[in-house]
Structure formats: structure tokens, C-alpha cells
Amino acid sequence: MKKTGMMLAILVMCATGALAQNEPPKPAPELKKLDVFAGSWTLEGSMKPGMMGPGGSMTENEKCEWMEGNFYLVCNSSFKSSMGNGVGLSVMGYSTDDKAYTYREFNSFGEFDDSRGSLDGDNKWTWTSEEKMGDKTMKGRFIMKMTSATFYTFTFDMSPDGTTWNTVMEGKATRK
């Protein structure tokens, strides 16, 4: 009888633990700030001549939707530029451990980007990364200034030391 009582207690504890674990996790409240990027966007910009290529115009069409669970905003894009045409996949989220927004992108040029972001007020996003260019590691900084819910300007700067920055791309984005 003592054995049966102990088994019953273990089963109740396991069942209680299983019920608590069945509660789905909740997205961090910071993720709601990424709602501004949900939808379809057209980006137009100009690339400066330099280590990234000859320079010229670029256009991009991007569609961003929340993944089920609302932890990640998934964006699919197609782009045309002086460097060529291609497609990309990016995922935006928030790291509660790092207290930073996250951005990971993969494109058909075989490139991969892993950035950390911050929001200054409600309208200025700054994404920072390290870019490998041959045997050099450069720092990258992508700044987006939201002027409305349907428009933002952007600049992409690079630096060898994180002190002196050079703009390599700038432009605007419009929600469709």
C-alpha cells in the first residue's frame, strides 16, 4: 500500500509538471515593436562605389509576416542591383538574454548576416554587425529612420575600426 501511495504521488507530480509545461511560451513585449515592418515594402537606394562593388542603384521588394507564435518576423525579398539580382530570406526577433533585437539574413549570393538591433525612441533602428570581406573583418551599421508607419529612410555604413564610418548604401523604403 505504501508503494501505491508513492506511485500515485509521483504520477500527480508528473501530471502537474506536464500541465505547467503545456502552457505555450509568450512572446516578449519588445516584439510588438517589430510590427512596423510587417507587410510589403519597396526599397530603393543607391550603392556607393567601393569594396562592396562598383556602386549604382538597387531596388528590393520585401514581404514580412509573423511566424506562428509571433516570436519571429519572417521576410522574403527579391532584389536588383549593380551587383546582380537575387533573393533573400531574413528573420527578425528579440533576444531576452541579450536584451537586443536580432536580424539574420541569407541570400542567393551565398551571403549571411547576423546583426543585433536597438530602437532609439519609436523611430530610429540601429542594427550592428561584423562583415567578413576576404581576410578583413569590417563593422557594419544599418540605420533605419521611420518617418511614418509607411515610410523610412536607411543608410548602411561600414568601418574597419568602429570609429570612422563610410556610407556604402542609402535609400528609402515605402510600404505598399
Domains, the chain, ordered by start:
32-175 (2.40.128.20)
CA atoms of 114 and 128, how far apart (whole Å): 9
pTM for the structure as a whole: 0.83
pLDDT, residue 109, reads 93
Residue 107 has pLDDT above 90, yes or no: yes
**Percent helix, strand, coil in the chain (nearest 5)?**
15, 60, 25
CA atoms of 16 and 155, how far apart (whole Å): 52
Q: What is the DSSP string of 113-154?
A: EEEEEEEETTTEEEEEEEEEETTEEEEEEEEEEEEETTEEEE
* Per-residue pLDDT reduced to its tens digit, 19-42: 456 788 999 999 999 999 999 999
Q: What is the mean pLDDT of the chain?
A: 90
Neighbours of 4 (CB within 10 A): 8
Joined grid coordinates for residue 82: 549593380
